[in-house]
Amino acid sequence: APRNSRELAVRNQFFTPRYVVEFLTDNTLGRLWYEMTRGETQLKDSCSYLVCRPQEIFLAAGEEAPETEASTDDLSQEEMLQQAVYIPYRPLKDPREILMLDPACGSMHFGLYAFDLYEKIYEEAWDLESQLGSQAFARSENLKPLQQTYASREEFLRNVPRLIVECNIHGVDIDSRAVQIAGLSLWLRAQRSWLCQGLKPQQRPQIRKSNVVCAEPMPGEKGMLEEFAGKLKPRVLGQLVEMIFDKMQLAGEAGSLLKIEEEIEEVLNLAREEFQREIQIRNDERNTLFPDIQSPRQASLFDFTDLGDKTRFWNFAEQKLLDALREYAEQADGIDAVQKRLFAQDAARGFAFIDVFRKKYDVVLMNPPFGEASGRVINYLNRRYELWNKNLLCSFIIRSKDITNQLGLTGVIFDRTAAIKSSYEKFRINHLDLYIVSAADTGWNVLDADVETTVYVLASKSVEGAASFFDVRDYSADLKGTKLNIMIEDFKEGKLADMIHLVDPRSFLRLPNSIVGYYFNDLLMKLFFKFDNLEQLGLQARQGHALVSNEHFRLFWELPFVSNMGYESFYSSLYNGSEFSLFAIPTRDTVAFGVHGLNVIYNKSVVLRNPQYQYLSGVGYGKRGDFLDAHILPSGAVFTSEGQAITGISNDKALICLAYLNSSIAQYTINQYCGQHKHCGYVNLLPLPILDELVGKLIKDNTLCLINIKKTWFKCDETAREFSCPLFATEGKYFLKNNLKSLIDDQKAKYKIDSEQLFNCIQRNDEIFISSAELTSQQYQYLIAFSKIRPQDTPWPDMDRDRGTSEIELFLCKEIISQLVGFVVGRWDIFYVTGRKEASELEELFEPLPVYPSGMLQNEQGLPAGPQDVPEDYPLRISWSGILVDDEGQPEDIVARVREAIEVIWKEKAGDIEQEACGILSADSLRDYFRKPGNFFAEHLKRYSKSRRQAPIYWPLSTASGSYTIWLYYQRLSDQTLYRCVNDYIEPKLKQVMESTRQLRQKGGRSRKEERELEELVNMEQELQEFRDELLRVAAFWKPDLNDGVQITAAPLWKLFRLPKWRTTLKETWEKLEKGDYDWANLAYSIWPERVREKCKHDKSLAIAHDQEDIYEEPVAQAKKKGGRGKKNT
């Protein structure tokens, strides 16, 4: 929020483009005169942006528009444009009393253009008075007709520039410099008019005053005021002056939003009421037994001792108060201030502001400030502008209704957010929707600020009939004005372009959040008018917890071995939305929520929402996205502010709701009134077509079919908890095929069939909802067009995203290699591909999944197996240490181990399978595929980067050149792992290399080949030593805790990864760890215990995370300040 008026002024100095100024002025001031003259004015042609309907009929005084029985609901836009429009009678008004105000005038762009229109209005007014007589104009009693005031037309026209400045144009600003520029601009504009008339400076009338004022407090110090007020009689008058002086202190910050006219009225009413009580007390005292003895009185704000019972003071109190304020302001302003005034008769500082707001205006034109107010003003706005929405622009629009007369018009450019955002609904209902006369929706790049704008003309009372909307949002900044002008010219001639809309503003009240949805077509209008929305039907979407992603979120394979998930466990399943996928997504996200939320509840960045609806089954959807996509939500999950949910409903309702949210009709509808952020407030407003029992069953059956198609493929995805089909083994003897091509071709053929079935099922759902909505053929076309731009869903969206532009064959082959590594380290159960076990059936949709994928090698309790859990006849030796090496001849050589797995599955065909795989992978050999960081590990990193987390579990730690690599399996890490790498692998390898080097050095007469070999051995010896030293350096402080997740656990080893992307990520993570950004991590505590413990003293969340609650110091509770007029403590 701005700290003061100076900062507010600087922040909101935005130049208003000329076409915006003209559009607003033409359709307020120009429109008023157009209606007063019943269309007989030159402004009709000269005002380029004046909006007129082709068939306008002006009603006479007292005449009512004829009643029409026919509804316009079924009329096309073209037919509506040709309908007769009856313009209510607007009496001619003396131009000197057609008042315009810009309440945030800046340098007076609106006023300068309004000056042009006023000149023509004055000129036409003289002629009209000649034709119709002076009685044709409404004017104040003290104002003589024009032709009685001026002897000739020439004399009158000579005075018009002066009259415009002195009578018509008013402006207020909180920036005194802007006010000076505005006043000077109007003076210069008047001089230009006189120059055009050929008048020399000495012939020009003197401008004695202007109405451009600075919003500022009354001048002078408090002592000076008290001295002045003390001399006023009666005493209550001085007290009233002091009260208004205090009220005016806010003027410099609140500006035009200070309702000073109301403040004066309220102060006077308060004084009157107090005086009436005083009279009653006096009468009661006269009637007592001892009238000379005064009984104790309640303290009063006012001193009435010098006012008699029958005083006439109150009849003239307001004028006396104003006179006193003016006199004080003149005295306090001083001679210097008077001499500095631009015009001799300008009101004194402070009082000039009061003077402006004692008037009612025909026209208000403004580009008001937007955003938050400064500190002191916020409290005032909360009291005086109930629906200001913490945005100044709303306050200015509300204020404009206060200061315009009953037939007045307001022209305003403002942040489009107020017209569409859900949080402004009450403001729109009360102050915007029903008052729109015409609008130009201008969009981005209009003001020199990052704000989307819209331009409205508003009536001071609710409008009957259709308003005109011109949409120029899609045009470039330099074309918006020209295109708007062309649209308006076509509109006048009865031509209706696509970007022009005629809409009854009353219809907005039936739209979601009462948004100004002029662009809603007849399809949307029908849906919102005919059907109840989701919230009304008991299918309410809700926002979930706001958690800290890097601290609380994990992918399931990052966790240490846990036996349970849920409310009673440390970890819970997490629903946080996903990339685009209809109906179902793979389950892989978890959250370190803590038992009953203990791990998050004290975190200052966490906000817990709707706890009673968490862990229930239903439907979830991601808040962010160009297109709405919803997913089945099993029970047992925490949902978030990003992944919102509809829970606590029956399974049947969930299936209907899921189908509807993924339908084209729902996706199309919500995209018409909200952008990428599909907050629950928007989703709840979606109208759901009525479905009978039979149609509902069709929808549910079809939706179950869709989900099952997707779940079948999730069973083949090793990054999903649904994984139960290693190597796509949906049948026990599936792999008795002779080659990979047959296997992959079968999967491709199945995927193609499932893709077609998925597409047909989605279309079938769409057609059912469209049929239930009873759409016309034209309305149906809207959805057909929309369907062409929405993404096409697939059975396995992750595969299609991760493979990018590569062929399915390549992706599936890479998956096979990855799963072979999983067999070797004991992650996956090879019995699923040998026929010993068969893939499990699909889980119940709304029930929680098991903690671990059923395709995992498990013990009898469903937990990851240990050496003791594996049967003796298990066909593959498992590398239980979790350490493999790229070292031919070594028992744990990664290539040799993968070959062993291939042999178990394909037996005598193993060699052919390996060769075929290398061909698909475009690798010279399996070793080549594993050794180059851009091959296996790059693919692994991509596949295991999900939900904005990078979490590879197979880590290649290498020497500088990659000549030697150790592969670590994340799930088997311990504080001894690095020592084991050194002792069991690097040291023996180093000895071997050193011995080979020694032997080669001793050999005399080495060949060139042997010289190169020696050089390679020497380099490898040096690299292995550096590799060993770095591992030992890290091992000295590295205590891996899988609760920290992959990235933090791997960060200290960043120097040993060769893939640049991953190396950079880990280096940045390590730097943040060193800096203290991740002190919630167990690794941080193990390395920097003193630093972390010090933080634990003042951060309860951190203390709980590190089991240091005993050192946490509860902050001393601060005594709350009492508000209002409570007694002080003594």
Boundaries of every domain in the chain? 5-84+92-215+350-519, 222-286+304-340, 549-834, 881-1078
Distance between CA 30 and CA 41 in Å, rounded? 10
State whether residue 673 is helix, strand or coil: coil
The residues near 679 (Cβ < 8 Å, ≥ 6 apart) are: 422, 543, 623, 644
Reported residue count of the chain is 1130
Distance between CA 572 and CA 590 in Å, rounded? 6
Q: Rounded to the nearest 5 degrees, what angle is found at the Cα of 951, between the Cα atoms of 948 and 955?
A: 150
Average pLDDT over residues 671-681: 86
User: What does the block give as tokens for 319?
Assistant: 């004028």
Q: Summarize pLDDT for 1036-1072 with one digit per residue, the tens.
A: 999 999 999 999 999 999 999 999 999 999 999 999 9
Q: H helices then E strands: how many in the chain?
A: 43, 23
Average pLDDT over residues 700-718: 95
Distance between CA 740 and CA 460 in Å, rounded? 76
Sheet holding 637-639, edge to edge: 553-555, 589-591, 572-575, 637-639
pLDDT of residue 638: 97
User: What does the block give as tokens for 475?
Assistant: 């045009």
Q: How many CB atoms lie within 10 A of CB 226?
A: 13
Contact status, residue 617 vs residue 625, Cβ threshold 8 Å: no
Distance between CA 99 and CA 165 in Å, rounded? 11
Nearest alpha-carbon partner for 236 in 284, 286, 270 = 270
Average pLDDT over residues 238-253: 93
Distance between CA 641 and CA 576 in Å, rounded? 8
State whether residue 406 is helix, strand or coil: strand
Distance between CA 697 and CA 717 in Å, rounded? 31
Q: Is the pLDDT of residue 886 over 60?
A: yes
Q: Summarize pLDDT for 190-231 with one digit per residue, the tens.
A: 999 999 999 999 999 999 999 999 999 988 888 889 999 999
Q: How many CB atoms lie within 10 A of CB 1062?
A: 22
**Long-range own/partner contacts, residues 30-34 (CB < 8 A, 24 or more apart):** 30/117, 31/409, 31/437, 31/457, 32/90, 32/98, 32/362, 32/363, 32/407, 32/409, 33/98, 33/117, 33/121, 33/124
Nearest alpha-carbon partner for 1058 in 951, 1130, 957 = 957
Q: Is the pLDDT of residue 735 over 70?
A: no
Q: Summarize pLDDT for 457-498 with one digit per residue, the tens.
A: 999 999 988 999 999 999 999 999 999 999 999 999 999 888
**In the chain, what is the straight-line distance between the N-terminal and C-terminal CA atoms, in Å?**
36
Alpha carbon dihedral 838, 844, 848, 849, in 10-degree steps, equals 20
pLDDT of residue 804: 82
Contact status, residue 962 vs residue 1025, Cβ threshold 8 Å: no
Nearest alpha-carbon partner for 718 in 856, 563, 866 = 856
Average pLDDT over residues 2-23: 69
Average pLDDT over residues 78-87: 90
Distance between CA 807 and CA 763 in Å, rounded? 27
Q: Is the pLDDT of residue 1093 over 60?
A: yes
Distance between CA 1044 and CA 742 in Å, rounded? 42
Q: What CATH class has 5-84+92-215+350-519?
A: alpha beta
Q: Summarize pLDDT for 922-932 with one digit per residue, the tens.
A: 999 999 999 99
pLDDT of residue 726: 87
Q: How many CB atoms lie within 10 A of CB 316?
A: 10
pLDDT of residue 354: 93
User: What does the block give as tokens for 143?
Assistant: 């104002």
Q: Is the dihedral of CA 982, 988, 989, 991 positive or negative?
A: positive
DSSP 8-state class, residue 28: I
Distance between CA 451 and CA 652 in Å, rounded? 44
Q: Is the pLDDT of residue 270 over 90?
A: yes
Give the whole-number percent of the chain exceeding pLDDT 90: 78
Q: Is the pLDDT of residue 1013 over 60?
A: yes
What pLDDT band is residue 777 in, cutting at 50, 70 and 90? confident
* pTM score: 0.77
Contact status, residue 1056 vs residue 957, Cβ threshold 8 Å: yes
Q: Summarize pLDDT for 184-196 with one digit per residue, the tens.
A: 999 999 999 999 9
What pLDDT band is residue 617 in, cutting at 50, 70 and 90? very high
DSSP per residue, 762-774: HHHHHHHHHHHHT
Average pLDDT over residues 994-1019: 90
Q: Which H helix or E strand runs over 366?
A: strand 361-366
Q: Summarize pLDDT for 813-840 with one digit per residue, the tens.
A: 999 999 999 999 999 999 999 888 888 7
What pLDDT band is residue 340 in, cutting at 50, 70 and 90? low
Look at the block and give the residue holding tokens 């042999």: 903
User: Mean pLDDT across the chain, nearest whole number?
Assistant: 91
> From residue 127, how far is each of 131, 134, 664, 698 by CA, in Å?
6, 11, 61, 75
Give the whole-number percent of the chain exceeding pLDDT 70: 94
φ/ψ of 276, rounded to 5, equals -60, -40
What's the burial of 890, exposed, middle or buried (CB within 10 Å: 0-12/13-18/19+)?
middle
Distance between CA 481 and CA 442 in Å, rounded? 9
Residue at 511: amino acid letter: L
Q: Is the pLDDT of residue 291 over 90?
A: no
Q: Which H helix or E strand runs over 20?
A: helix 18-25
Nearest alpha-carbon partner for 115 in 172, 175, 181, 188 = 188
pLDDT of residue 1129: 36
Q: Is the pLDDT of residue 350 over 90?
A: no
Among the residues of 456-598, which ranges form H helices? Answer: 480-492, 522-530, 549-552
Sheet holding 954-958, edge to edge: 883-885, 965-969, 954-958
Q: How many CB atoms lie within 10 A of CB 15?
A: 14
What's the burial of 210, exposed, middle or buried (CB within 10 Å: 0-12/13-18/19+)?
buried
State whether residue 443 is helix, strand or coil: strand
Contact status, residue 1057 vs residue 991, Cβ threshold 8 Å: no
Distance between CA 928 and CA 897 in Å, rounded? 15
Q: Is the pLDDT of residue 4 over 70?
A: no
Q: Which H helix or E strand runs over 638?
A: strand 637-639
pLDDT of residue 733: 46
DSSP per residue, 111-171: HHHHHHHHHHHHHHHHHHHHHH-GGGSB--TT---HHHH-SSHHHHHHHHHHHIIIIIEEE
Look at the block and give the residue holding tokens 């009856």: 86
Average pLDDT over residues 437-457: 94
Distance between CA 1011 and CA 1025 in Å, rounded? 21
Strand partners, 138: 93
Average pLDDT over residues 673-689: 90
Q: Summarize pLDDT for 710-725 with one digit per residue, the tens.
A: 999 999 999 999 999 8
Residue at 95: amino acid letter: P
DSSP per residue, 970-994: GGG--TTHHHHHIIIIIHHHHHHHH
> From residue 1106, how far is each of 600, 602, 1036, 1070, 1101 by CA, in Å?
13, 13, 21, 20, 9
Distance between CA 145 and CA 135 in Å, rounded? 9
pLDDT of residue 1: 47
Instruction: Say how many CA atoms lie within 13 Å of 834 toward its Cβ.
Output: 16
DSSP 8-state class, residue 26: I
- 653: Cα separation from own chain's centroid: 30
Q: Is the pLDDT of residue 10 over 60?
A: no
